[in-house]
Chain A
Amino acid sequence: MKDSNRRFRAIFFYTLVAVAVTSILVFLIWSLRPMILPATIGILLAYLFRPLKTAFKYHWLPEPIRAAFIFSLLTGSLLLGISFVQDNIPNQKENLELQVRLKYKFNEKFEKIMGIDPLTGKGHSIYNLIAHDVDPIRSGINKYLQLSPEQSETFMKFKNGVEGYEPVSEVYYQYYLANTKKIPNKNDKKENLAANTDAPAAAKSNEPSLLIYLLGTLSVWLLMPIIFIFFLLDDGAIAQYFIKLVPNRYFELALTLQEKVDGAIGKYLRGISMECALVAISMVIGLWLVGISFKVSLIIGVLTGVATVIPFLGTVVGLAASIIYVLIAEDLSPLIPFVNIDNAAIAVILVNIFVHLLDNMVFQPVVLGSAVNLHPLVIILGLLAGSMLFGAAGVVLAIPAIVVLKVVSENTISGLKDYRII
């Protein structure tokens, strides 16, 4: 009787504690959701770089110095990356030139492919068949790429010479002139003007001070390096704390599960990072061989590598970015003899197909071979659900969360049966 009373009190107490803790956790997660993304990235980075910490494990090297060294290495690489991106981000003049070039080359290629005669406006038979559907798309793209009156004014200023900038080259000026002949209609111009005059006013009325916004964002993101260092310094104390909360009956099962989840997340994260890096490197080499400048190849390669996290997206991003670049390229310096500006698009498509096959047939089996196997559809749905629930944080958290769910669901039931709990 005494025992059953105690048991009842224990169940009541634990249920109460569980409900209270869950409510507080939900409240905290919801209230502190801007901190989720930096914290998650910090934890994932610590996970990713854990083997590096082991690699630098020397008895004479204290733990904090080791973590600080890895952190400096990471920060250094990040700063180098930022400075590289800054160097390669086009300035205002280059931006305008790119827009002018993009519009001109788009129309030029379109007319060439569709066999359109610039005087009559008539194309080949296929074009005549699909003109009804294709023309609105073309005019939409043209509208998007059209310089606004303010931009046109700035372009002309650059053409006439602005201090600190090289004047706009004659070729781009000719492109600009050709583009101005293709302004869709006057209404578009009015819309553009309206949009340009209304937008700043609307922004001014709603936007808080930029400084306050930047300070707020910076203070939240300061959390990332702190979390990274603490998790990198951690020698299992965090996991041990949670294991301590597990009742004795489930102790060995919890240890086994924790080891499996830990191993699975580590393998998956390191595997996917390695895969992304290999795809990026392959793309850079492939595009560089085709004749795209090394800097542009690097940018497209990195974009493709990052997008590889999401199945198929890497291929789509790589293909789209490289084809668009090749279509607007003025000249190429290919290292492969038979590639020239006319067939570069085909060469780029072949590079993308080759990299895709390389990824599927070599990188994935070798690098991700022993990691958790996730179905592409599960990843896509998971990422969508993650972004809908928690925004950017959800996207970052989705894959590790799916890995945890998969490993836990696969091992919990068999573990509970092995330990005769169910």
Chain B
Amino acid sequence: MQEKKSINVFWGMIFRKRKPAEVSRNQFLKTIPFFEDLTQKQLKTLALYLHERRYEEDEYLFEVNHPAAALFIIGRGEIVVENSTGKENSNQLATIKSGEFLGELALLDSSPRSASARATKPTETYALFRGDLITLEKEDPQIASKIYRTLAWVIGERLKATNRQVETTRKVA
């Protein structure tokens, strides 16, 4: 173990382990749970479908009740998820940081967004559009199936968490 660490330190000196924002897009994508099962070649293909967007501080990625169209992966910066639009009346539900993602249900249908997402600092995102995922289904089904599998896993985990929360609330009541 000690030997492995020393090797890592050695190689780390030469090939410095960089932060997500600094690594190349493909390497960065590999760190996102959605894409961790994809091979380098598949990541290269997927990268062709991703839209790079930059947001200023307080700019909205999407707003509550707007039709959903894309999943957003945060490359650099920070996003807050709020239950409504407008800083004054809204409650913060979550904070999404670099390497995390939001709006994944947009990959399934165009149902309205259940919350708004606002950048709290200059933020870079990668957006995956639902239509592009459908194209991938036809052109590269292996990539699409891996993304859908991960999506199913994420939704399953959320459901479990919600069930636990409901159970806890019921016990408290």
Q: Find chain A residues with CB under 8 A from B129 CB.
A: 255, 259
Contact with A along B33-72 (1 / 0, CB 8 A): 0000000010000001101110100011111011111100
Contact with A along B2-37 (1 / 0, CB 8 A): 000000000000000000000000000000000000
- Stretch among B74-82, B93-101, B131-139, B157-165 lining the A interface: B131-139
- Stretch among A109-117, A122-130, A240-248, A336-344 lining the B interface: A240-248
Task: Give the shortest distance, in Å, between A78 (CB) and chain B (any CB).
Answer: 27
Of B53, B129, B139, most buried by chain A (CB within 10 Å of CB) is B129
- CB < 8 Å neighbour of B51 from A59, A235, A243, A256: A243
Cβ < 8 Å to B, chain A residues 211-241: 235-237, 240
Contact with A along B117-135 (1 / 0, CB 8 A): 0000000000101011000
Given A248-B59, A259-B131, A236:B66 Cβ within 8 A: no
Residue of B nearest to A414 (CB): B67
Are A236 and B131 within 8 A (Cβ)? no
Task: Give the shortest distance, in Å, between B25 (CB) and chain A (any CB).
Answer: 13
Residue of A nearest to B140 (CB): A57
Are A252 and B51 within 8 A (Cβ)? no
Q: Find chain A residues with CB under 8 A from B62 CB.
A: 252
A-B pairs with CB below 8 Å: how many? 50
Are A244 and B67 within 8 A (Cβ)? no
Is residue A418 contacting chain B, with contact meaning CB distance below 8 A? yes
Are A420 and B69 within 8 A (Cβ)? no
Contact with B along A386-421 (1 / 0, CB 8 A): 000000000000000000000000000000001110
Is residue A206 contacting chain B, with contact meaning CB distance below 8 A? no
Given A237-B48, A243-B51, A244-B52, A256:B59 Cβ within 8 A: no
Q: Find chain A residues with CB under 8 A from B48 CB.
A: 235-237
Q: Find chain B residues with CB under 8 A from A244 CB.
A: 51-52
- CB < 8 Å neighbour of B139 from A57, A253, A418: A57
Chain A's interface: helix, strand, loop or mixed, by majority? helix
Cα–Cα, bound, A420→B49 (Å): 27
Of A54, A248, A419, A420, most buried by chain B (CB within 10 Å of CB) is A248
Chain B interface residue bracket vs A: 20 to 34
Task: Give the shortest distance, in Å, between B37 (CB) and chain A (any CB).
Answer: 17
Cα–Cα, bound, A382→B49 (Å): 34
Q: Find chain B residues with CB under 8 A from A30 CB.
A: none
Residue of A nearest to B48 (CB): A235
Is residue A251 contacting chain B, with contact meaning CB distance below 8 A? yes
Q: Find chain B residues with CB under 8 A from A249 CB.
A: 60
Task: Give the shortest distance, in Å, between B32 (CB) and chain A (any CB).
Answer: 19
Task: Give the shortest distance, in Å, between A258 (CB) and chain B (any CB).
Answer: 8
Q: Find chain B residues with CB under 8 A from A243 CB.
A: 51
Cα–Cα, bound, A172→B150 (Å): 79
Cβ < 8 Å to B, chain A residues 44-99: 54, 57, 59
Cα–Cα, bound, A249→B62 (Å): 8
Task: Give the shortest distance, in Å, between B58 (CB) and chain A (any CB).
Answer: 11
Cα–Cα, bound, A225→B49 (Å): 26
Cβ < 8 Å to B, chain A residues 113-164: none
Residue of B nearest to A234 (CB): B48
Residue of A nearest to B41 (CB): A59
Residue of A nearest to B63 (CB): A420
Are A418 and B52 within 8 A (Cβ)? no
Cα–Cα, bound, A236→B128 (Å): 13
Q: Find chain B residues with CB under 8 A from A251 CB.
A: 51, 53, 70, 127
Cα–Cα, bound, A252→B71 (Å): 10
Are A418 and B51 within 8 A (Cβ)? no
Are A418 and B59 within 8 A (Cβ)? no
Q: Find chain B residues with CB under 8 A from A240 CB.
A: 51
Cα–Cα, bound, A236→B48 (Å): 7
Cα–Cα, bound, A54→B51 (Å): 22
- CB < 8 Å neighbour of A236 from B63, B67, B127, B132: B132
Q: Find chain A residues with CB under 8 A from B132 CB.
A: 236
Q: Find chain B residues with CB under 8 A from A259 CB.
A: 129, 131
Residue of A nearest to B131 (CB): A259
- Could you list 11 examples of A-B contacts with CB < 8 Å? A235-B48, A236-B49, A252-B68, A255-B69, A255-B127, A256-B69, A256-B110, A259-B131, A418-B67, A419-B66, A420-B65
Extra A-B contacts (16), CB below 8 Å, given A236-B132, A252-B69, A418-B67: A54-B138, A57-B139, A243-B51, A244-B51, A244-B52, A248-B53, A248-B60, A248-B61, A253-B69, A255-B51, A255-B69, A256-B110, A256-B131, A259-B129, A420-B63, A420-B66
Chain B interface (Cβ < 8 Å from any Cβ of A): 41, 48-49, 51-53, 55, 59-63, 65-70, 110, 127, 129, 131-132, 138-140
9 residue pairs, one from A and one from B, having the closest CB atoms? A259-B131, A252-B69, A255-B129, A235-B48, A418-B67, A419-B66, A256-B69, A54-B139, A255-B69
